[in-house]
A and B are shown apart, each in its own frame.
Chain A
Amino acid sequence: DAGITQSPRHKVTETGTPVTLRCHQTENHRYMYWYRQDPGHGLRLIHYSYGVKDTDKGEVSDGYSVSRSKTEDFLLTLESATSSQTSVYFCAISEKVGLAAKNTGELFFGEGSRLTVL
């Protein structure tokens, strides 16, 4: 199994409070991602990173910020949590592969972090 650790795994917080979720990998993969999973929406990309200090927005980035100061860590911050951000958050990692590579370059996922905003 890929070495990906998310913390905390469960968190309950109140509207308006800041929240930081941490993703730590031991695989030295270049790409890291934060997704949220909601019923009926599948997995939607929040932000992703393609290297240390290199990040970009996904399709649902409003209200979220990220930072990647080391290859192994990717932090997701909700500056002021809202009830609409209640969700399950998944961190994932991957490596880019060339067309001829045998490696599929699939996403490896963490176990998920369940966030409830009251």
Chain B
Amino acid sequence: AQKITQTQPGMFVQEKEAVTLDCTYDTSDPSYGLFWYKQPSSGEMIFLIYQGSYDQQNATEGRYSLNFQKARKSANLVISASQLGDSAMYFCAMRAVSNQFYFGTGTSLTVIP
């Protein structure tokens, strides 16, 4: 069975500090993709970062990095130098071999000035 688990319903971070959002996954697929999406209060889904299961290096995109630990089946999102505009809901997702995408329940991040 494919499953994504996000255990932090809500997180707070001080502006300019770094924050880690946790994500663990469960799959028996030989290859898969891991994604993070941001959903601001306006409701749109914004793609942030991608990690392929065969990628040796952790993915980075600007202030976002994905801490991929394959043996632990974790794919945590690290946001450095938090900004007020980072306040949003964040979803971890996994693409299976079938090309179905599975999502976690999300983490609500609030950046405090």
List chain A positions with a Cβ less than 8 A from chain B.
31, 33, 35, 40-45, 48, 50, 58, 88, 90, 92, 94, 96, 99, 104-109, 111-112
Contact = CB atoms under 8 A, between A and B. Distances in A.
A50 B99 CA distance: 9
A39 to B, nearest CB: 9
**Dominant SS at the A interface?**
strand
Nearest to A114: B43
Contact of B99 (A31, A90, A111): A31
Interface string B69-108: 0000000000000000000000101010001111111100
Contacts of B93: 43, 107
A99 B104 CA distance: 23
A105 B35 CA distance: 10
Contacts of A31: 99
Q: Interface range on chain B: under 10, 10 to 19, 20 to 34, or 35 or more?
A: 20 to 34
Nearest to A44: B103
The 6 closest A-B pairs by CB, nearest first: A104-B50, A109-B45, A42-B105, A43-B103, A42-B103, A106-B47
A55 to B, nearest CB: 12
A54 to B, nearest CB: 12
B54 to A, nearest CB: 6
Contacts of A88: 43
Contact of A43 (B44, B50, B54, B91): B91
A63 B93 CA distance: 25
A42 B100 contact: no
B31 interface: yes
A21 to B, nearest CB: 16
A94 B101 contact: yes
A57 B65 CA distance: 33
